[in-house]
Structure 1
Amino acid sequence: MTAHAFDLVLRHARVATASDVFEADIGIRAGRIAQLGNDLPRGEREIDAAGRVVTPGGVDAHCHLDQPMAPPLRMADDFETGTRSAACGGTTTVIPFAAQAKGQSLRAAVADYHHRAEGRASVDYAFHLIVSDPTPTVLNEELPALINEGYTSFKVYMTYDDLKLDDGQILDVLDVARRHGAMAMIHAENADCIEWLTKRLEAAGRTAPRFHAHARPMLVEREATHRAIALAELVDVPILIVHVSGREAVEQIRWARAHGLKVFAETCPQYLFLTAADLGVDDSYQGARCVCSPPPRDKANQEVIWDGLNDGLFSVFSSDHAPFHYDSPEGKKPGGEEVAFRHIPNGIPGIETRMPLLYSEGVLAGRMTLEKFVELTATGPAKAYGLHPRKGSIAIGADADLVVWDERELVLSNAMLHHAVDHTPYEGMPLRAWPGLTISRGEVLWDGQRFLGRAGRGRFLNCGAPSLLPRRG
């Protein structure tokens, strides 16, 4: 019996990478790409891509799954439902957050998060850290050791009472990032401005979901972005500003870049496809579905974000999937009540829709090249967080994580999605494409109709040094 050269050959692919688009067969052996070329030898299994576009599996480098919450709140997606949804939307690697609670050791947070993920993920995953209590033990012992063990990125917050750090604490954490070669991510919003505005709105009886946007105008993001850049400049360390929403924060990042500072940036679908009007134009509670921070802005700011995606301002396009049921006492109606905007849990679902939205409205609408799409959804995030070239590329030796795209007209509805959330903010949106196949390490997880993966097949990934950072001598 003749042994096959490959476990799987994906034939007649229009292969798209961050730098090229070319026709090729893809030969896969032992879960990795073994050969690219024309007329490859037969594989044990053959799939004909029939000239369809094939991109690297998506890397969603900013999502929240089963993150510990104070009762009664609970995220709708755990690692099983969240990674199932990711796979059906073309994402084969996710990086959620091991979040430290104040008073908790960072290592205990990591151990708890491994427990939550164990045996549940169907795609590969890594962890970012969230540092909310930078004690001397965390700064001098836990964080350096965890970076050395492959947790090479962490997030700090400038807002939210249970997470925010003051400037001195941020400087301490950035210093650890500089000395140990980690990527520091910053949620940049001015907490004191938000609190002051919130109290004034509450005093005037303006507590409907739409006033969430009034309490977080662009200037609170602009000021915090400016301050984050200044803190990073003082320590002399690169930073990555997450979920940038619009023009004023973008201008700060462009200023920093023009002055030679290594400031990277991420944005998300909600800043391309939603506006403040989605939070409500009256006092209806329906807008709670779209409460996230920073909030969506206006149509003009959507154009600013599109420009930043195309001209290199943004390195990463993430979902910031933060899944809360709308109609649930554990979600957007805490305890079963319609609450003031201050108390609505922040976040929207998007782990499955991230790539189809950008492919449809970016690539197929003529707003973005295929190469740029690949860079933003796969290669860029893999590089930013130390997973490249194993992830985010179609190259010999890389994991065989691939998406075959079906270009067809469809209307997005929550009923077609595979998350555990009771809504999508993009309900009714016409799309031009959806993944026809999602392949993870050579295994078909989504065939265009059914999820074929299984909980527990996803592997934990230790991250290397982020390749956006300067080499340490």
Structure 2
Amino acid sequence: MYDLAICGGTAVLGDAVVRCDIGISGGRIAALAERIDEARQVIRADRLLVMPGGVDTHCHIEEPLPEGGYQEESWESASRSAFAGGTTSVVCHTTQEKGGTLLERHRSNRERASAGAMVDYGFHQIVADPSDAALAEIPALVADGIGSLKAFLTYDNVHLDDAAFLRVLQAAKRNGLMVHVHCENYDAINLAVSTLLANGCTAPKFHALSRPPVVEREATARAIALAELVGQPIHIFHVSCAEVAEEIARAQARGVAVKGETCPQYVTLTAEDMDRPGFEGAKFMCSPPPRGAADHAGVWSMLRRGVLDMITSDHCAFSFEGARGKAKNGRDAAFDVIPNGVPGLAARLPIVFSEGVSKGRIDLSTFVKLVAENPARIAGLYPRKGVIAVGSDADLVLWDAERPVTLTNALMQHAVDYTPYEGLEVVGWPAATIRRGEVVMQDDVVLARPGTGQWMPRGPQAR
């Protein structure tokens, strides 16, 4: 007698897509069978796909802000948004302050997540100041389940120069951790920003001009070279175009341990979105910025080639209005002081399915690899997460592959007042989300309780 049986659906099991019933006991998958007759609860999944719950390994949730306070997106609201879009696990960030150490902020993050999260969660540790004292705390973080470090090659408050980045790479190698990197050239961006502002170019559209593909490409090539020097695997976050991905492809061809990801904004949004009237373009500002419409095809090509092997959201939510929103410095604020980031937790799976599977760019198995299996692998969570297999957590999304939906902010169920994907038409939408054998979303209604998410200690990272 299983606790729950999912019956009649078409399951995506790795490279196989088969009609399969799924038996769940104790929060884990206990059986995959042609037919399951006995369970305390049965959910019919006729005409639905059954896929692993999404694993989003690049999110910013309830992070402390430099000016004090926290981001608007709380653990409760972010979990609601994740479940609404079919995601069941996230890996977020703990930020080190310049001059600070690591453990205190990590413990505080875990406490806040424990109180509010409904989604299962882990953290990357951002290293902004690799002092001896800070690096000495890394073994304690590893013992507590931290499996990766994050390095920024830009942004004043977290920027690492080459010497500091090398220290982070060496520390990761000593402790068996993956290093995730935000690759943009800090000095080139500062030069472009100062030049644009001096010439009165302050509107949101100039954000894209201040961060052209070459500054992302150069930083990516440099990060790869330094990692190759140390012999440390790295993972390049949010690759915006094929021009940047080619640096990863060249390194992979010579045997360097480097992986890359992209995000939905780089296959849907464009730099032209930031050129909307008035302040409206601020809604689409993120870094790296969206490129041209022609670049979308190049990103899909790199995904099909396996150069980029996952799609995460880089969910970094700021409202349009309000004291913490995009307009907090006024609607006439220069682009360099507009909060940078876009929300995308709930939109990720529907956009990737619609743009990818529904439009024939990728197949179902590739979709599952991009949004669940490969993120789980690189995060050290596989096979607990990211796969439908006996013994894995029963994290599932029941998917209506033919349902047309027009995206709206209300459907995102996040804390902020807009979505950059407002009005985008997609085909494919989650009918239900199951986390560890519990139905946590059904028919767009989230049913879980705050604090029911579980901490995910992470093992050695994929190499």
User: Would the TM-score normalized by the shorter structure come out above 0.5?
Assistant: yes
In 1: Cα distance, 2:150 partner to 2:120 partner: 20
Match of 1:455 in 2: 450
1:70, CA displacement in angstroms?
2.2
Please tell me the residue identity of whatever aligns with 2:373: T
CA distance in 1: counterparts of 2:311 and 2:186, whole angstroms? 25
SS in 1 for 2:137: helix
Specify the alignment match of 2:210 in structure 1: 215
Query: What are the within-5 Å matches in structure 2 for residues 357-372 of structure 1?
Result: 357-372=351-366
- Matched AA of 1:352: A
CA distance in 1, matches of 2:77, 2:452: 13
Mean Cα displacement is larger for which, 6-15 or 18-27? 18-27
Q: What is residue 81 of structure 2 aligned with on the other side? A: 85
How far the C-alpha of 1:281 sits from its partner, in A, is 5.0
Measured against aligned partners, the alpha-carbon deviations of 1:3-22 in whole angstroms (never above 9, x if no partner) come to xx100000012111332211
1:107 aligns with 2:100: no
Q: Distance in 2 between matches of 1:308 and 1:7?
A: 41
In the TM superposition, what are the counterparts of 1:56-205 in structure 2 within 5 Å?
56-71=52-67, 74-139=70-135, 141-205=136-200
In 2, Cα distance between equivalents of 1:311 and 1:247: 11
Structural mapping, 1:351-430, within 5 Å: 351-406=345-400, 407-430=402-425
Show the counterpart of 1:261. Answer: 256
Report the Cα distance in structure 1 between the residues aligned to 2:228 and 2:432, rounded to whole angstroms: 44
1:156–1:170: 8 Å Cα contact kept in structure 2?
A: yes
Q: Which residue of 2 aligns with 1:13?
A: 9
- Structure 2 unpaired stretches of 5+: none
- Tell me which amino acid in the other structure corresponds to 2:405: L
1:244 — aligned with what?
239
The more displaced of 432-441 and 71-80 is 71-80
Contact map agreement 1:240 1:264 (CA 8 A) in 2: yes
SS class of match (2:184) = coil
1:51 is aligned to 2:43: no
Matched, 1:314 2:314: no
Please, which runs of 5 or more residues in structure 1 have no aligned partner?
none
1:98-138 per-position Cα deviation (integer Å, ceiling 9, x unaligned): 11111221101101211221221111111111111111022
Mapped to 2, the partners of 1:72 and 1:275 lie a distance apart of 32
TM-score (norm 1): 0.96
> Given residue 296 of structure 1, which amino acid in structure 2 is its aligned partner?
P
Instruction: Give the letter aligned to residue 92 of structure 2.
Output: P
1:7 partner SS: strand
CA distance in 2, matches of 1:115, 1:121: 10
Letter of the structure 1 residue corresponding to residue 141 of structure 2: L
Offset at residue 336 of structure 1 (A): 4.5
> In terms of mean alpha carbon deviation, does 336-345 or 230-239 score higher?
336-345
Deviation at 1:73, TM superposition (A): 7.4
Which amino acid letter does the alignment assign opposite residue 60 of structure 1? D
Q: Which amino acid aligns with 1:446?
A: M
Instruction: Give 1:271's aligned residue.
Output: 266
Aligned residue identity for 1:100? Q
Change (3 A) 1:74 1:280: farther
Task: Supply the AA of the counterpart residue of 1:83.
Answer: S
Q: CA deviation at 1:179?
A: 2.0
Q: Which amino acid aligns with 1:215?
A: S
2:281 paired residue number: 287
Shift of 1:360: 1.3
Deviation of 1:347 (Å): 0.3
CA distance in 1, matches of 2:332, 2:24: 52
Report the alpha carbon displacement of residue 345 of structure 1 after superposing the two structures with TM.
Answer: 0.9
Post-superposition CA distance 1:240-275 (Å, at most 9, x none): 000000122111111111111111001100000000
Report deviation, 1:338.
3.3
Runs of 4+ in 1 over 6 A off after TM superposition: none
CA gap 1:377/1:403 in 2 versus in 1, 3 angstroms = same
Counterpart-to-counterpart distance in 2, 1:115 and 1:340: 36
Whether the 8 Å CA contact 2:114–2:453 is kept in 1: the answer is: no
List per-residue Cα deviations over 1:278-308 (Å, max 9, x = no partner): 11156x2110011100000001211111111
Report the secondary structure of 1:145's partner residue: helix
RMSD of aligned Cα (Å): 1.2
Q: Does structure 1 retain, via aligned residues, the 8 Å contact 2:350–2:426?
A: yes
What amino acid maps onto 2:360 in structure 1? G
**Residue 324 of structure 2 aligns with which residue?**
330
Measure how far apart 1:72 and its partner are: 6.8
Whether the 8 Å CA contact 1:73–1:330 is kept in 2: the answer is no
Deviates more, 1:64-73 or 1:25-34: 64-73
C-alpha spacing 1:281/1:88, structure 2 compared with 1 (3 Å): closer
Residues 1:296 and 2:274 aligned together:
no
Among residues 452, 460, 463, which one is paired with 1:465 in the alignment? Answer: 460
Other-structure match for 2:336? 342
Greater displacement, 57-66 / 35-44: 35-44
> Is the Cα contact below 8 Å between 1:329 and 1:337 reproduced in 2?
no
TM-score (norm 2): 0.98
Contact 1:221-1:248 at 8 Å conserved across structures: no
**Amino acid across the alignment from 1:48:** R
The letter of the residue matching 2:133 is T
Deviations 1:169-216 (Å, cap 9, x if unpaired)?
A: 111111121122111000000000000000000010001000000000
* Separation in 2, partners of 1:78, 1:228: 32
Letter of the 1:371 partner, please give it.
S
Contact 1:212 1:295 in 2 (8 A): yes
- After TM superposition, the structure 1 stretch with the greater mean CA deviation from structure 2, 269-278 or 73-82, is 73-82
Aligned partners of 1:195 and 1:426: how far apart in 2? Answer: 29
Q: Distance in 2 between matches of 1:148 and 1:443?
A: 29
C-alpha contact 1:72 1:329 (8 A) present in aligned 2: no
Residue identity opposite 2:30 in structure 1: A
- Which one is further off, 318-327 or 172-181? 172-181
